[in-house]
A and B are shown apart, each in its own frame.
Chain A
Amino acid sequence: MKYKDYYAILGVARDASAEDIKKAYRKLAQKYHPDVTKDPKGEEKFKEIAEAWQTLKNADKRKAYDELGTHAPGESFQPPPDWERHFRERQGDGAASSFSFEDLDLGDLFESLRGGSRAGARSRASMQIPGEDFEATVHLRLEDAYSGTQVDLNLEMPEIDAEGRLRHARKTIKARIPKGATDGMRLRLRGQGGKGLNGAPNGDLYLNVALQPHALFRTSGHDLYLDLPLAPWEAALGATVEVPTLSGAVNLKVPPNTAAGRKLRLGGKGLPKPSGGEGDLYAIVQIVNPAAASERERALFKDLAQSSSFDPRAHFTGERSHG
């Protein structure tokens, strides 16, 4: 078993009072709680902090932890002989058999040494315990959100091994994500969380959807936005242009005299909604000049400039534009 220095994790002295330990935990928890922090390492840090707190806040567990002695963090060590049996006896859970500590996690060990009121290792064998809920964030490609997909999730989950030891292990589980997803949505997969023990119901799996940025489309709810670059003459004269959608390219009619910034709507070409129907696709017009105009193009633009009385900045001076 590898040693963890719970006092160092909370940043308190080994003889710190219960009140100081509580204060230290609260301060760190507010900073690193995964539901609050933007720190990508927050979840990992909070897990350490919570594990240290769960052990040190309980006077019996703290005493048992102190009896393990001081070691360097990460150093392999063996608890003193009969350490676990003595601890379980004090808890009134006397029947526990001693088991090997060899590859056990210190946090899992203390979690299994429940604080009296909750089920001990022995009663776990027959009690009905509902499975745990799992929650994870999935980063989906827009195309996969559109058509529905299956994802592999690598989740850390608790299990009881053959020796009756509680341990956390990473497992890969598959989850099917139906159509209907967009950024920020949550999916509940009933019964696909942890296994219930002794006939109790399984937990649920909750998935938070985050969409990966797409090269062409931006999303707002189930609507999609696409930049539609047009040549000046396409915008002026009107044109039929091919635009991509998630279900393949379609022809879009651009009306004459289309201004930059105008939104052309393609109904039902957005993402499918869970409640039925689809969002829309909006093509936002941009007017783009040739990157390097040829002599001929420049000549034609000069002609146009001379024949047009159009003043796009008329409103700067309060005069009316000829449009």
Chain B
Amino acid sequence: MADENEAVWLEAHVRVTLVELSRCSGFPEATLRELLEYGAIAPGEGETFPGDCVGRLRRAARLGEDLELEVPAVALVLRFLERIESLEAEVRRLHAQVPAPRR
């Protein structure tokens, strides 16, 4: 994630540094480290994070700010968002296999 005007798909293969994650989500680095301690975000090699956590962190940051949530509550929100995303993917996978009604 380097060049200006670059378009990047935020998926697991893309690695994002903590500094970049802070810019993307609006969470201060200290808060991100706290979320890391709660296990709500998980780093890979060299303290980089999978790109798909950016969207979740942005949602959690909005909810945290607008609903005035403490960090442990934000950590819980992140876990639920991740669970919802994986359930939605599973629903899409199952739905894709169901034959469409014949016209």
Contacts and interface: CB of A to CB of B under 8 A. Distances in A.
B66 interface: yes
Given A191-B5, A219-B92, A284-B99, A186 B10 contact: yes
Interface string B42-69: 0000000000101100110011001110
Given A191-B4, A221-B89, A227-B100, A186 B13 contact: no
B88 interface: yes
B29 interface: no
A268 interface: no
Interface in A148-201: 176-178, 180-181, 183-192
Contacts of B92: 183-184, 219-221
A181 B9 contact: yes
Nearest to B10: A186
Interface of B: 1, 3-11, 13-14, 24, 26, 52, 54-55, 58-59, 62-63, 66-68, 85, 88-89, 92-93, 95-97, 99-100, 102
Contacts of B97: 220, 225, 284
Nearest to A291: B102
A26 B67 contact: yes
Given A33-B66, A219-B92, A176 B7 contact: yes
A184 B89 contact: yes
A133 B58 CA distance: 10
Contacts of B6: 189-190
Nearest to A189: B7
